[in-house]
Structure 1
Amino acid sequence: MEAQRGPTVLVTGGAGFVGSHTVVELLNNGYEVVVVDNLVNVYKGDGTLPVSLKRVEEITHKKVLFYNVDLLNPVLLEEVFRMHKIDCVMHFAALKAVGESVQIPLTYYKNNVTGSIILLEVMKKCNVKKLVYSSSATVYGTPQSLPLTEEHPTGQGCTNPYGKSKYFVEEMIKDLVFSDESWSAISLRYFNPVGAHESGRIGEAPSGIPNNLMPYIAQVAVGTREKLKIFGNDYDTPDGTGVRDYIHIYDLAVGHIDALKKLLEPSFSRWKVYNLGTGTGYSVLDVIKAFEEASGKKIAYEIAPRRPGDIASSYADAQLAKKELNWVARKTLLDMCRDMWRWQSNNPDGYATGPKV
């Protein structure tokens, strides 16, 4: 039985990795969805709809309304708002490669910060004042204590422009919400999203060299890359390699739906922040071992020097999301690796050469 038709949600960056998986869950939960994306990090294919969203339609058997719009273009963005009765915005659109952000910081600040300002201005103009912001655990900087709770200071020791841009946007949204009680917003700080949809039809498809561990391991397993470099094996962790909190993309997408439900409650108050993570840290070697088990492939690796700015451990305390959103991460590390391997082995070059629909 189909879920009752729900509110209309505008999703920025909805053709990307986190955005596309969240669009699946929005559609499956009866929401109407309008996607805007400038396709800067997305495989476009040969049609008007990017391949990721074509496959979202295939998975959900529902149509996706899509507009190729850059948030830096307020005129086109406002046109989209005027064409649809938008109830809420989910904001994913951001450049997100940490290393690249150090090399071209102004590009990151312009896209992530200025783009968010323009989005908020258009929302205000069109009287859409409910926002779920897809933030990042990078706003915590170097952990002062573990696990990281929502009370941990933010903006201190952010080691790169990407993390700073996420922090700046959080502060802007918070200031806006407290300046005008007609606004309400939830910020979701999540850790390392990995895995793929269980169908193997949508997943993470980084252009160029992957910036994150799991996609790199997957490319080694499928034969696209020769071996993995582990940056440092002398950290103060159980096996010397860096420990991080990995979260399955499905659990993350569901977390965004649960946050949206909270935001749309009449009693919701102004501004709230939630961590989305498993609360368990896994080392690089833990992830390699799990991926080898999931894929049946041996992962070649070598130890390299530590990278500047890397920290030993980072993992979440997600108890607040459990208590207030009734959300918990349910997928295991092995689940993450199995789904990632299904996606990667079926789509060795991402969306470019995946199976034909």
Structure 2
Amino acid sequence: MSEPLKRVLVTGGAGYIGSHVIFALQETRRYKVISVDNHHNSSPKAIERVAQIARDNLPANATAQDKDSAEIDAYTVDLTQRDQVRKVFEKYGKGGIWGVIHIAAYKAVGESTEIPLTYYENNVAATVYLLQVMSEFDCTRIVYSSSATVYGTPPIIPIPETTRLQAHSPYGKTKVMCETIVSDLCSAEPQRFRGLSLRYFNPAGAHPSGLIGEAPIGRPGNLFPLLAAIAVGREPNDLKVFGNDYPTPDGTCVRDYLHVLDLAKGHLLALDALAPESKAFDDCPTEARYKAYNLGRGKGMSVLQIVEAMRKATGFDYKYEIVGRRRGDVPDLTADPALAEKQLGFKAEQDLETMCKDLWNWQTKNPKGYDSN
């Protein structure tokens, strides 16, 4: 007999990263996914599409359990409303949810400097409420979506996890705070709680089917989806490059891009590391079962290199203008992914060309994101 499915709750499941994490969970046919999302910046259609991928991938001799793993329990929930969160947990009872992957957050660095209170409420207060309800229902494993922004301007590149945390923006500070909260909880209750923070670098690309991908509402704030929107004619061809006088090879900011499916696989490895038999925490200095890992490729790409790679993938002639630096931008954020490789078995294998090709495939099939058809 196969093991029964483990229920895993994914917050922000309809989002760009969330939907790809759900794909990775369903692909194993070991998990029953519960998704919660308030659709602030995501479409419920993403959940339908990712379940469709799972159904299409079922083998001809799929068992009833396999079929169940392809269906998602999806709820519209605002995490800042503790009662809404509790209602979901009540459906499954004490111990009914094996673990949580907490991805939901507001994530625009610039916006966070304008409306910091909104960011602190949505990112920090919601995490506290989620952890309180988890504790109440004996759900004591969490994979937390953190970010490379926790490092601020790092003293060494590539960036190891031992780097001091010194975020510049309110957004980055919410991530530092949530990491601290999870770590403190694991220290307070070492026999119960286990937590991993995954510090994402820059995810790009999409599922190769073109069924799910990044579909920001309004003008994209990130470089890849913006370039795709320009090439598909949804945004004007007038890219602004913020600063070309940084201490980088071509003067533009350098970021570490990894394929979103490689990032999603990192979450599977993190979940495995939270299992009772896992050896991941054996080298922890105290009883607390908490760690943070970088998820990146360890290769930096500049803004202009990305523009060139997207030009090759799309055949589109981008026009760009160099303007002044943007507040809060850091010259170089390149990961040292050695720890996650060694301890989790993580490897971001897909290259820049594949990221661009998969993104363009998604964008051409869905020119207006999930509202295209």
Q: Equivalent residue for 2:364?
A: 345
Q: Deviations over 1:321-341 (max 9, x none)?
A: 110111100110111100111
Q: Count the aligned residue pairs.
A: 344
Q: Distance in 1 between matches of 2:37 and 2:328?
A: 30
Q: Does 1:81 align with 2:89?
A: yes
Q: Distance in 2 between matches of 1:239 and 1:70?
A: 43
So what's the TM-score if we normalise by structure 2?
0.90
Q: Does 1:264 align with 2:275?
A: yes
Identical-residue share of aligned pairs (%) = 48
State the AA in 2 paired with 1:202.
Answer: I
Q: Distance in 1 between matches of 2:228 and 2:321?
A: 16
Q: Distance in 2 between matches of 1:351 and 1:264?
A: 35
Q: Equivalent residue for 1:315?
A: 334
Q: Stretches of 4+ moved more than 6 A in 1?
A: none
Report how far residue 274 of structure 1 moved: 0.7
Pick from 325, 332, 336: which aligns with 2:355?
336
Q: Equivalent residue for 2:60?
A: none
Q: Secondary structure at the match of 2:371?
A: coil
Q: Secondary structure at the match of 1:290?
A: helix
1:154-165 equivalences under 5 Å are 154=165, 156=166, 158-165=167-174
Q: Does 1:41 align with 2:41?
A: yes
1:141-180 equivalences under 5 Å are 141-154=152-165, 156=166, 158-180=167-189
Q: Distance in 2 between matches of 1:309 and 1:20?
A: 28
Q: Distance in 1 between matches of 2:135 and 2:185?
A: 10
Report how far residue 238 of structure 1 moved: 0.9
Mapped contact 2:143–2:196 kept (Cα < 8 A): yes
Q: Equivalent residue for 1:8?
A: 7
Q: Distance in 2 between matches of 1:231 and 1:56?
A: 35
Q: Secondary structure at the match of 1:351?
A: helix
Pick from 181, 203, 209: which aligns with 1:199?
209
State the AA in 2 paired with 1:242.
Answer: C
Q: Secondary structure at the match of 1:256?
A: helix
Q: Deviations over 1:132-176 (max 9, x none)?
A: 00110111111111110110001x2x2211100010000011011
Structure 1, unaligned runs of 5 or more: 44-49
C-alpha distance 4-223 of structure 1, shift in aligned 2 (>3 A) = farther
Report how far residue 76 of structure 1 moved: 2.1
State the AA in 2 paired with 1:53.
Answer: I
Report how far residue 297 of structure 1 moved: 1.6
1:286-325 equivalences under 5 Å are 286-325=305-344
Report how far residue 5 of structure 1 moved: 4.7
Q: Deviations over 1:247-278 (max 9, x none)?
A: 11000000111111111142453111110000
Q: Does 1:51 align with 2:45?
A: yes
State the AA in 1 paired with 2:11.
Answer: T
State the AA in 1 paired with 2:123.
Answer: N
Q: Secondary structure at the match of 1:123?
A: helix
Q: Deviations over 1:9-54 (max 9, x none)?
A: 01111111100110011011121110111111113xxxxxx10001
Q: Equivalent residue for 1:209?
A: 219
Q: Secondary structure at the match of 1:177?
A: helix
Structure 2, unaligned runs of 5 or more: 56-69, 282-288
Pick from 122, 126, 141: which aligns with 1:115?
126
Q: Distance in 1 between matches of 2:318 and 2:357?
A: 15
Q: Distance in 1 between matches of 2:49 and 2:327?
A: 38
1:188-267 equivalences under 5 Å are 188-225=198-235, 226-267=237-278
Q: Deviations over 1:34-79 (max 9, x none)?
A: 0111111113xxxxxx100010111111211101111122222112
C-alpha distance 198-4 of structure 1, shift in aligned 2 (>3 A) = farther
Mapped contact 1:5–1:32 kept (Cα < 8 A): no
Mapped contact 1:135–1:188 kept (Cα < 8 A): yes
Q: Secondary structure at the match of 1:135?
A: strand
Mapped contact 2:243–2:252 kept (Cα < 8 A): yes
Mapped contact 2:152–2:330 kept (Cα < 8 A): no
